[in-house]
Structure 1
Amino acid sequence: MDWHGPAERLADQVTDPDSRWLSTVANVPRHELVPRWWERDANGSDWVLRDGASDPGAWLRAAYSDRSLITKVGALHADHARIEDRAHGRPTSSATMPGLVVRMLRHGRLGDGLSVLDLGTGSGGLTAYAARRIGDQHVTSLDVDSHLTRAAGERLARLGIFPHFVTADATEHVPGTYKRIVSTVGLPAGAGLRPILGALAPGGRIATTLGRTCLIVTGWKHANGDVVGRVERDMAGFMVTRPGDDYPPELTELFAFARSADGEEVSTGRYPVVDVANAWELRSMLELTVPGVELAYGELDDQSRTTCLVHPDGSWARASAEWADPPEVRQGGPQKLWTALERIRNRLNVEGSLPLLGAQVRITPDGVCHFSRGGWSASLGDAA
């Protein structure tokens, strides 16, 4: 299979002509790392399997496009599925889009001779790029899923790339210390971040997103254990860390209640219904304001739109409207979730921006992330 031309075109698309990553992307056969993947069916409800060997043309097009390829849904790996299988549930692993991989590597500021930890092996794409660029002896790749680390190790070995692989839950334990940590999973602020901070060597640098936000946070570790840096003026949407084969069940019963309940408070919203999960700045600010909110969004006949917000403490909100009309808002529980979202949207409208991008960040050894910009400040994570 002639993959060199597609790989070179991909490299031209996701890097600059003078980039040190251009040759790396052009010379990694990405299709070898993603032989099978999942795609949504025509109805958008289930996942259907794509097998590269059965359709080499589609394989090349998918592998050398700047797109993420879903490789696991729920507990079912594409590698393990039968052609006729249908997968149900949330994606739990993917081959990250190459352009985003390159951006995260740039944020990580890798250098010759510096040890690198890739958090979230996935298909092994970031590991492959890093190993080709600085040498595989300097690269360690970690994932909670033993199949992913084993499969990536075998596939990279066939390409003559031999980094070190570790299977572990990074929120519990990270073996070794590293000068650079680059994460392509959303890390939890608080206690789950402590083992990762402990694995970052003094003077080292981390580049990651924080779970349920799209904020790319970078920082340098100081001698006192604090990581000091900023929120980059760049964003990414990564899957959050998970302790096992699949994510814990969503707040299914509370979502069902939120979709039909009358509500303790009924009002007319000030702003149109929005798909909060895909409004990245809003989503990120909401997580800093009310940590732990889960989201659902739906459209009917391209006109009627509904957003539901739920929280583990039992709070919920539902906003429904015809297209951009003022929505009917129903909410209940100890926190008024839609009210919190509208305050954020009001700030955005009044000030023209939110204070997130470019904010200063200090992450203390307990994993709590402290943000500040001008007169604004916020903290994310529980030190307990």
Structure 2
Amino acid sequence: MDWKPHAERLAAEVTPPVSRWRDAVAGTPRHFFVPRWWEPAGGGTWALCDGSADEAAWMRAAYSDTSLVTRVGPLHADNASPEGQPAGLPTSSSTMPGLAVRMLRHGLLYDGADLGLIGTGSGGSTALAVHRLGDKHVTALDVDPYLTEAATARLASLGMSPRVVTCDASGPLPGDFDRIVSMVALRSLAGVLAALRPGGRLVTTLARMNVIITADKEADGVARGVVEWDRAGFMSVRSGADYPPGASELFAAVRGREGEDVTEGRYPVLNVAEAWDVRAMLELAAPGVETYYEEHGEQRTAWLVHRDGSWARASATWIQPPTVHQGGPRRLWTVLERIRHRLNAEGGLPIYGSRVHITPDGACHFTRGGWSASYG
């Protein structure tokens, strides 16, 4: 199978001609790391794709700048039956190559730097890092023993032998590093900050916030940096085989319930998960809130739910003012509308481009102008 022309085309798409990452992308057989993957099948289910059954489709998928889902719930595509169509959330993937390169570039890697790469996944991003830094300077970490075993074997077959470790990135990390780049969205930064050497650089996103943070650790143990004018969506870090149920049971219970407060909303119904700057600000204002959204023709409905029992549902036709039902201890839609009002009034939200400092307890503090907020 001649994969090199496909990899060279992908490299030209996701890197500029003078980039040191171009040869890494062009020299990485991504299809080798993703022999099977999942694609949406409708109704919240997933269909298995087997590369060996259709090599042309395999090349198109593997050498496109898209993420390929490799694990749904606890079921990895490598071990799945073609007849099954699992339902659930993706729990691992092969990150889109352009995004992997962007995250690594934000790390400002240099020759001889020791890199901790969180989220081994398929192993493809680890291969890119090894191309740049060499085996002995790359440590890849993942919570899933199957993922680390499979990635180790696939990397070894390509002559690569980085350190690959099974560990929970929400706790202490094994070792210390000059650079830590996370390909999963973290909830607490205490463990990664402790594993960062003084002068070291952290690049990560945060759970439920599609922001890229870059911060450099200083002598006082605090990391200071910025929220980049860039954004990325990664799966949240997990500690077990699957994500906990979250607020899904509450969502089912309140899906069609009459609210304690019923009002007319000020703004059209919004798919909050896709409005990344709004979603980030909502997480800071109401940490842990989960979002759901449906469209049926021109009818739009959005839900906000929280484990504390708060919930909101807004429904309307197209861009008409929605009917809003709210219940529980907090009025979540009211919180959301305050954020949207600020967006309309100021033309933007302060999260992107803000300054950030991360304290040793893992809390992340944002400031921009007169605005401030904290996460964790």
- TM-score normalised according to structure 2 size: 0.99
Unpaired runs of 5+ in structure 1? none
**Aligned letter for 1:297?**
Y
**Aligned letter for 2:5?**
G
Cα distance per residue 1:163-187 (max 9 Å; x no partner):
0000010112211000000001000
Question: Does residue 217 of structure 2 align to residue 218 of structure 1?
Answer: no
**Aligned letter for 1:323?**
W
**Whole-angstrom distance in 2 between the partners of 1:203 and 1:373:** 24
Matched ranges for 1:238-249 at <5 A = 238-249=234-245
Displacement over 3 Å in runs of 4+: none
SS of the equivalent of 2:117 reads: strand
Question: Does residue 7 of structure 2 align to residue 11 of structure 1?
Answer: no
CA deviation after TM superposition for structure 1 residue 161, in Å: 1.0
Question: Does residue 319 of structure 2 align to residue 320 of structure 1?
Answer: no
Equivalence for 1:365: 360
Number of residue pairs matched by the alignment: 376
**Whole-angstrom distance in 1 between the partners of 2:360 and 2:72:** 34
Equivalence for 2:167: 168
Matched ranges for 1:157-196 at <5 A = 157-188=156-187, 192-196=188-192
- Among all aligned residue pairs of Structure 1 and Structure 2, give the percentage whose two residues are the same amino acid: 60
**Whole-angstrom distance in 2 between the partners of 1:110 and 1:33:** 24
**Aligned letter for 2:310?**
S
Cα distance per residue 1:263-304 (max 9 Å; x no partner):
11110000000110011111111001110000110011x211
**Aligned letter for 1:96?**
T
- Residue pair 1:258, 1:308 contacting (<8 A) in 2 also: no
Question: Does residue 372 of structure 2 align to residue 380 of structure 1?
Answer: no
CA deviation after TM superposition for structure 1 residue 44, in Å: 4.4
- Residue pair 2:260, 2:325 contacting (<8 A) in 1 also: yes
Matched ranges for 1:228-307 at <5 A = 228-300=224-296, 302-307=297-302
- Residue pair 1:179, 1:203 contacting (<8 A) in 2 also: yes
SS of the equivalent of 1:87 reads: coil
- Residue pair 2:172, 2:194 contacting (<8 A) in 1 also: no
Cα distance per residue 1:10-53 (max 9 Å; x no partner):
00000001111011100100000001000011x34310100111
Unpaired runs of 5+ in structure 2? none
CA deviation after TM superposition for structure 1 residue 250, in Å: 2.9
1:260–1:44 Cα change, 3 Å? closer
**Aligned letter for 2:193?**
L
**Whole-angstrom distance in 2 between the partners of 1:338 and 1:202:** 42
Equivalence for 1:67: 66
CA RMSD of aligned residues (A): 0.8
Equivalence for 2:104: 105
- Residue pair 1:30, 1:64 contacting (<8 A) in 2 also: yes
**Whole-angstrom distance in 2 between the partners of 1:5 and 1:133:** 21
Cα distance per residue 1:244-275 (max 9 Å; x no partner):
11000132221022211111111000000011
**Whole-angstrom distance in 2 between the partners of 1:44 and 1:161:** 40
- TM-score normalised according to structure 1 size: 0.97
**Whole-angstrom distance in 1 between the partners of 2:66 and 2:92:** 14
